[in-house]
Structure 1
Amino acid sequence: MTLESNEIEPRSQSRSVRKRAVILGSVLALLICAVTPYNNVYLQGTPLGGGHFPLAPFCAFLILTLVAYALAKLIGREILTGMELLVSWILMALVSGIAYTGLVRTFFINMTAPYHFATAGNRWAETLHPLLPKSWYPQNPDAVQLLYNGLDGGRDMGWMELIKNIPWSAWTTPLITWSVFILLSYFVMLCMVNIFARQWVDNERMNLPLLQVPLAMEEAVQNKNLGGFFGNPYLLAGLCIPVFLHILNGLHFYYPSVPDIPTLILAGPYFPKYGLFSAFHKLKIHLFPAYIGFAFLASRQISFSFWFFFILGGLFIGALSLFGLNIPAAALGVTFGPNITRPEETQMLGAYGIFFLFILWLARRHLADVVREAFGRKPVEWSGAQWFSTRHAFWGFVIGYAALILWNWYFGMPLIVSFLVIGAFFMIMLVASRIICQGGVAYFSLTMAPLDGMMSFFGPQFFSKMGVLIAGVSQKVLFLDLRESLMPSLFHASKISKRAGRPNMFLLGMTVTIILAVAVSFISMLALCYKFGIRELQLDWATRTTLAALQNVQTLVESPPDPGHWVHFFSILGAVVMLILVVCYHRFYWWPIHPIGYLTAYSSAMKVLWFSFFVGWLANSLCMRYGGVKLFNRLRLFFMGLIIGDFVMGGIWAIVGLFGDSSYMVLYN
């Protein structure tokens, strides 16, 4: 297997991190969680915690770095070291998504939709209400009605007064019940990351493109060369491009008479509606300097594979159409996948399963050591990327997994179904984390849902009615909308902790921050909804996708259809293709394609990012071919400048948006 890496390891040595860095990062993280619902939902501003390289944490990290460096120059001693700044950043990045798509964007609609949207037409009162666990949902109809309409006089209340007037008695039981599920899931993720961190970070030396800019800034601070870093002509040249672009386009947004530079090109009209290129009839070219920068910093093999499989996937759909295989969307049956629209896309059901087995196979020796260490048959080995021993991680995983199974069983899901559903959830989460971390995919979305694979393999009759309901609702709560999921950030945190020292303090800081972030995000979103009412907030996507999930559950409860033969055919096809890809990738050093590219071929994220990966791959390839490592080390600063400039302008326009009726979006929303 080839393990190509463009990562340049920082030269600075690890230094012990003081408590101030953890406390600072935690406080700022909670502040971001408190503000995010108001900014993202009510103001419709640039998402503060969007994606896996969130805006607000990076802007805070940049400001803190500049201030700490200036103070160090002024008073002659360091207030915060580079590593401490990096630790503060990862704590912010870790939990910023919880306050939006990572959890609370759909959470309270999930908790109220089965009752609030029940009508005589959808017959949820007859089909779903008898199955709904009472402790999952607020049982006070008035509290639910006020959530959608807002408290009387809520708009005139201060935030603290508003929080006091929230009908907490209606929410106490549901919030406690679901907090158990959420925190157990986070605990299992933490244990999984602790188990796989040594394999991914140490053994495979995985390139983590999303970490390269923060690591480079940390190195510059440690080496007392931050001025040289930001004064580098290559970085300044890259920085100037997004700054100029977004100043011009931002002014055009507010003052249309100012000319703009288009960052969205509709290429679809250049392709026919029918024939080989029919899948590209709606093709869009998005220009995002930051995403081009991440693509350049990723392995060339991976960045090539992302755009290559996106094009190949479209050609495959066109070829089927060309040969007369126009398979209707109805052949999909009932699916929960957020982006799956065609039977051909069910290739991902088999592909994800095979790639998960490939991950386990690559780590087979490491996992065998973990099991031996867990049962005391081998001395415990420590890695800097771990927060606690693999023995504790193994038994923590087993206990947490068992607790989640029992949680599902308590509410009515059969034990064997619960075991398999929870396994599917974490299987998809692990594969998605690999795609995001290794590929540098800052914006990611699933094509298929974990339950889609379960339904395809076992059939809906395998699930009881309660099993379908519990699996569908819990999947929507935490394991379906992965734009801002926790687990990839945990892997990034493991890389940082490897060099930070004091893993116990790092672990304690993460744990406390995650728990408090969940609580703060719940309170912030509830306060926003009771102040303005969900009806007045722009939560159409959250409402639509939640209702769609419940409608799918109802269909499976009333008259569960068997998966069509086309779903089975394409699932097997996807498994075969992925098996060929992983064998070739592992056996032939010259093999140019990485298997994770296939996993994103039909993802809506790649519809946005494919061109960025193409440009990043092209620039990286030309650089290494004609300039080698020496030129790469220079040009990487240029592409880091693209990233920094894009996020700086995103932060500036986000602040401007606070004072207006609308906000210019720098990054993809």
Structure 2
Amino acid sequence: MTNSTQPNTFADPGAHHLSSVNSSAFSVRALTIGVIGTLLISLGAPYVTNVVKGSALAYDFTTPGAVFLLLVLTAVANVIPGLLRPRWRLAPWELLIVYMMMLIASAIADMGLASQLPAILAAPAYYASVENRWDEVLLPYIKPELIPHGEGAVRYFFEKLPRGAAIPWRAWVQPLFFWGLLLCPLYFVMIALMVILRKQWSENEKLVYPLTTLPMEMVHDDSKSPIPPFFRNPIMWIGFGIAFSFGCLVALHNYYPAFPEVKYSSGIPWFRGTMSLPFRLSFPMLGFFYLVNLETAFSIWFFNLLSQIFRGLVNINAFGMGALKMTEDMGIYGSPDPLFKQLGMGAMVALVVGGFWQAREHLRNVFRKALLNDPSVDDSEEVMSYRFAVIGTAISSVVIAVWLCWSGMPVAPMLLFLLTTFVIFIGLTRVVSESGLSEAVASTTGSSFAVAGLGTRAFTDAGLGATGLTYIWCSDIRTFVMASAATSLKLAELTPPRRRNLFWCMAFAVALSAVSSIALTIALSYIHGGLKLSGWFFQGGPNACWSYIADKIRNPRGPVLAGWSATAIGVAIMWTLQVVRQRFLWWPFHPIGFCVGTVWIMDQLWLTCMIAWLLKAIILRYGGFSSYHRMRPFFLGLIAGQFTVNGLWILIDMATGKQGNFIFWI
């Protein structure tokens, strides 16, 4: 589904230079700095989120922390050695290895896993009360091996250890061990699937991977100066300065309330006050949306506004549309309305199934190589062999399925849950890789869809308890390893051959990030008290998860047939959009807009998306592609400037002890 009407505007000017180096990208210094970067992300992200409470470093596919560290590395740390002795400088491909490892760490260190896991495991016991009766409704149906036990271990996790008391690590050893048995095969499958699909997406369909644009520009070296060309471009510095200056104004107001306040967001009530129309300007997203092709950007804000208008009309029962309101509780994640949750799930299914159908010849080659070792199929440029990827995926999938059943989930619900969850993972990764949509979530979650589709009786109470535990890794998914792996594998194309070691770099980054970030999150909880850390990760999120599960256990019901109908309609609409777009070049609507345009995060970003679309359309209309390329550094500067001001003020906050200096959200 690539856009055949637009040239590849994301081609990296330094790609030939990067790929022509006669060296191994896996030098000791690159790996050493990669490990340091991984640790900085893994320890810095949860500390900033929970203690400093500053701008997030690892919430989304934007990976602000990784971009900031790469910027420091390329613009400062790598320039000084180059001035002294050129050979001391890290080569571009070495910088990419470092960045790839930090990308993987960003998907685990905070929103992706570490900030979710400890609190969700401890929440059922701590938040149980006479009113909610979770000790009767929830705890008997949660596998005891998967959660910490002991009144002190759970209580002090949220309320802080008494002075002189030691952190009760023993209470966490068993649950973390069993969770490791799930997470290891899960992350392997995510990486292996991207290896299997890389050639199809990158070479056959020529997806453009816009999220690789900024790092490639930053590491590109023309050998004319120790300073990379990106940092010598005055147009970039204009965009950088705008975002940096606004960020400083926000920070100064947070430090000195008398200083004039700068607001990035506002909103107005509409539809008789039943909804609010958000207005938000995001400099990073303005930059990322500029990289998105016009029809995709237009479709995203158009379908979002259309969905908001539809929800408003239903709310006020205009034209009798109140009859379309679905009352099924499908949780808080994704689209605000159950109807759009189901429509979006149907769209995601159509996107993924259509993609696999389009890739059928490539997949046939992959399996011939994996099972028959067909010499005509070349997998030498992949980070793992097709045989390792295919067989490893099969074995790991069985392990995941067995683990879920062991945790309490019946076989049929487990299969539907696992299938829809990976449809979401693959679909969102495809969206990010094709459109560059760096802030994206699915319309619903695999758990909510499966519970609504089969009914709570099919799940059983134990199955619902197990479903609550899945919220740790597949519900609040604004970032995950599969998307980071896809971006990393695209960047790996610019490194020298013999890339097999890159998989082990990624695997090591996964393990190091998971262990260090989870351990730090647990330690911070006991040292400071979880209730004083992130309000969302320690209170709002866990309560939303377990309240939803408790309600389903208390109120058993059968499958929601209307939901299946809405999902089928979503499939039909998405399929129609795909077919029409392929047959009519003038068709203005991109299917991705329908797939993700209705989710809550797009409610916040529709205005930024529309501004970027309008600016890009004007530039292309009156200046052509040459003007588009000349202006691209300005928009990349907006991204770099925002993430730099975030990072610098975080360092200032840590030095001064300031909390809550939150400059950037999305």
Residue equivalent to 1:20: 29
Q: How does 1:111-130 map to 2 (within 5 A)?
A: 111-130=121-140
**Partner Cα distance (2:467, 2:129) in 1:** 23
Q: CA deviation at 1:541?
A: 4.8
> Retained in 2: the 8 A contact 1:292–1:639?
yes
1:98 aligns to what? 108
- Residue 12 of structure 2 corresponds to 9
C-alpha contact (below 8 Å) 1:435/1:596 kept by paired residues: yes
1:601 deviates by 2.4
In structure 2, the CA distance between the partners of 1:431 and 1:223, relative to structure 1 (3 Å rule), is farther
The answer (yes or no) to whether the contact 1:300–1:621 under 8 Å persists in 2 is yes
Deviation at 1:177, TM superposition (A): 0.3
The aligned residue for residue 162 of structure 2 is 152
Shift of 1:207: 1.5
Q: Is the 8 A contact 2:18 2:93 kept in 1?
A: no
Return closer, same or farther for 1:556/1:258 CA change in 2, 3 Å cut-off. closer
Distance, in Å, in 2 between the alignment partners of 1:558 and 1:664 is 41
Q: Quick one: distance in 2 between partners of 1:638 and 1:477?
A: 38
Shift of 1:186: 0.4
Give SS of 1:9's match. Answer: coil
Give the match for residue 462 of structure 2: 466
1:386-465 matches, cutoff 5 A: 386-465=382-461
State whether structure 2 residue 477 is matched by structure 1 residue 478.
no
- Equivalent in the alignment of 1:668: 665
The answer to whether the 8 Å contact 2:424/2:442 transfers is no
Q: Provide the rounded CA distance (Å) in 1 between the counterparts of 2:414 and 2:448.
A: 15
Letter in 2 for 1:290: P
For residue 30 of structure 1, the aligned residue among 39, 55, 78 is 39
Asked whether 1:56 is paired with 2:65, we answer yes
1:283 match: secondary structure: strand
Q: Deviations over 1:146-167 (max 9, x none)?
A: 212222216xxxxxxx8xx322
Q: Distance in 2 between matches of 1:612 and 1:469?
A: 40
Q: Distance in 2 between matches of 1:264 and 1:114?
A: 35
Residues 1:496 and 2:482 are matched in the alignment: no
Aligned AA for 2:463? G
Counterparts of 1:226-375 in structure 2, within 5 Å, are 226=227, 228-266=229-267, 268-269=268-269, 271-273=270-272, 281-320=275-314, 321-327=317-323, 331-346=326-341, 347-375=343-371
Flag structure 1 segments of 5+ consecutive residues without an equivalent: 155-161
CA distance in 2 between partners of 1:115 and 1:529 (Å): 16
The letter for the 1-side match of 2:251 is: G
Q: CA deviation at 1:544?
A: 2.5
Partners of 1:403 and 1:605 lie apart in 2 by: 33
> Which residue of 2 is the match for residue 646 of structure 1?
642
The 1:231–1:465 alpha-carbon spacing in structure 2 relative to 1, beyond 3 Å, is: same
Cα pair 2:252 2:259 within 8 Å, conserved? yes
CA distance in 2 between partners of 1:184 and 1:58 (Å):
28
Contact 1:348-1:599 within 8 A present in 2 as well: yes
Give the AA of the match of 1:496.
L
Encode CA deviations 1:611-667: one digit per residue, 9 max, x unaligned. 222122122222222222211221111111211111111112222222243343332
Which one of the candidate residues 73, 91, 94 is aligned to 2:83?
73
Distance 2:454 2:484 in 1: 32
The CA distance in 2 between the partners of 1:663 and 1:139, in whole Å, is: 32
Question: What do residues 34-91 of structure 1 show as CA deviations (whole Å, max 9, x unaligned)?
Answer: 2322221122111122321222221211111122123212223242111211221221
Question: Which residue of 2 is the match for residue 208 of structure 1?
Answer: 209
Which residue identity is paired with 1:425?
T
| Alignment root-mean-square deviation, CA | 2.4
Task: Using structure 2 for the length normalisation, give the TM-score.
Answer: 0.92
2: CA distance between counterparts of 1:507 and 1:407?
Answer: 25
Q: Deviations over 1:299-337 (max 9, x none)?
A: 2221121111111212333444321222597x4323135
Further displaced range: 318-327 or 487-496: 318-327
AA aligned to 2:662 is M
CA 1:360–1:606 in structure 2 vs 1: closer, same or farther (change >3 Å)? same
Given that 1:35 and 1:524 are in contact with CA atoms closer than 8 Å, whether structure 2 keeps it comes out as no
- Greater shift, 423-432 or 248-257, is seen at 248-257
Check whether the contact 1:385–1:497 (CA below 8 A) recurs between aligned residues: no
Matched, 1:42 2:38: no
Counterpart position of 2:580: 584
What is the TM-score normalised by the length of structure 1?
0.92
Count of equivalent residues: 651
Structure 1 residues 362 and 226 mapped into 2: Cα distance closer, same or farther (>3 Å)? farther
Query: Residues 353 and 220 from structure 1, CA distance in 2 versus in 1: closer, same or farther, beyond 3 angstroms?
Result: same
CA shift in 2, pair 1:379/1:355, >3 Å: same
How far did 1:216 drift? 1.0
The letter of the residue matching 1:146 is: Y
Aligned counterpart, 1:512: 508
2:61 partner amino acid: H
Runs of 4+ deviating beyond 6 Å? none
**Distance of 1:433 and 1:293 partners within structure 2:** 20
- The whole-number CA distance in structure 2 between the counterparts of 1:169 and 1:602 is 44
> 1:189: how far off?
0.4
1:38 partner letter: Y
Q: Quote how far apart the aligned CAs of 1:552 are.
A: 2.6
3-state DSSP class of the match of 1:334? Answer: coil
The answer (yes or no) to whether the contact 2:38–2:512 under 8 Å persists in 1 is no
Q: Aligned equivalents of 2:152 and 2:288: distance in 1?
A: 48
CA distance in 2, matches of 1:393, 1:426: 16
For residue 279 of structure 2, give the secondary structure of its aligned residue in structure 1.
strand
Letter in 2 for 1:599: C
Alpha-carbon distance in structure 2 between the residues aligned to 1:89 and 1:197: 19
Give the drift of 1:479.
0.6
The residue that corresponds to 1:159 in the other structure is none
Equivalent residue letter for 1:587: R
Note if contact 1:6-1:298 (Cα within 8 Å) is conserved in structure 2: no
